[in-house]
Structure 1
Amino acid sequence: MTDVWYAVSDSTRRQVLARVAAGPCSVGEIADALPVSMAAVSQHLKVLREAGLVSMTPAGRRRIYQARLEGLAELRAELDTYWTQALQSFKEVAEASYRAETTEQKEQQ
């Protein structure tokens, strides 16, 4: 399985993922919307599939790709963890700064 962070590290793959997240589409439809070949889109989709971010459904000779909500939810949950940690760190710094300022003001009085 491909690492989800590796999968979204490439800007073209993020564009492919954004197009697929907008609604189910074929390789040709994605390639028409981006400045890359169908072969390149297929390779990007393979990485995104291996990372669990998109799924593929056969439709005759075409393959229809769509975003996997579960995969996107896992990515978001991990991002939320970082965001929560960053907010907690900011809170701690702000509170420490406030305490130091308050202490300094009391000492000056």
Structure 2
Amino acid sequence: MVNRQSPALDRVFGALSDPTRRAIIARLDAAEALTVSEIAAPLPISLPAVMKHLDVLEQAGLVTRRKAGRTVTCRLDGKGIRDAMGWLAHYQRFWGESLDRLAAILEDGR
């Protein structure tokens, strides 16, 4: 059963709603792990702003951070996205049916 009233799910979709956070996720997807400085380098925002975005991503279960000395390394974490995918999969049947009906209407109108 999919929990449709989940604060964790709200955090995931809230985190994914921001284009800067999606850019961070895309950067991490292209590498096994990156330091905070490597993540921040191409972004047009300050390092403290990047750190705040990473906080949101970590709280949503999308990113993990590990500190070694003064270096903080980030990696993607699949827990948050698995929760979101479960929620989306539950509703996919409704979207598929709606799209199938739309396709049939459009084909009939030719």
Q: TM-score range by the shorter chain?
A: 0.7 to 0.9
What is the distance in 2 between the residues matched to 1:93 and 1:32?
44
The TM-score normalised by the length of structure 2 is: 0.74
Is the counterpart of residue 5 in structure 1 residue 10 in structure 2?
Answer: no
Which residue pairs with 1:84 in the alignment? 93
Aligned to 1:104: none
> SS where residue 35 of structure 1 aligns?
coil
Query: Does 2:47 match 1:28?
Result: no
Q: 1:93 & 1:43 partners in 2: Cα distance?
A: 42
Inter-partner Cα distance in structure 2 for 1:35 and 1:82: 36
Q: Cα gap change, 1:94/1:16 in structure 2, threshold over 3 Å: closer, same or farther?
A: closer
Q: CA RMSD in A?
A: 2.2
Match status 1:44 vs 2:67: no
- Identical-pair percentage: 36
SS at match of 2:41: helix
Question: Structure 1 counterpart of 2:15, which letter?
Answer: A
Displacement of 1:75? 2.3
Unaligned runs of 5+ in 1: 102-109
Which structure's residues are more often helix, by fraction?
A: 1
After TM superposition, the structure 1 = structure 2 runs for residues 58-69 of structure 1, keeping only pairs within 5 Å, are: 58-69=67-78
Q: In the alignment, which residue of structure 2 is the partner of 1:107?
A: none
Tell me the amino acid that sits aligned with residue 25 of structure 2: L
In 2, Cα distance between equivalents of 1:93 and 1:35: 41
Name the aligned partner's letter for residue 28 of structure 1: S
- Higher alpha-carbon Rg: 1
1:37-90 CA-to-partner distances (Å, cap 9, x unmatched) read 111110000000011110111122111111002222222333333433200223
Q: How many residues align?
A: 97
Q: How big is the shift at 1:92?
A: 4.9
Q: Which has the higher contact order (CA 8 A, sep 6+)?
A: 2
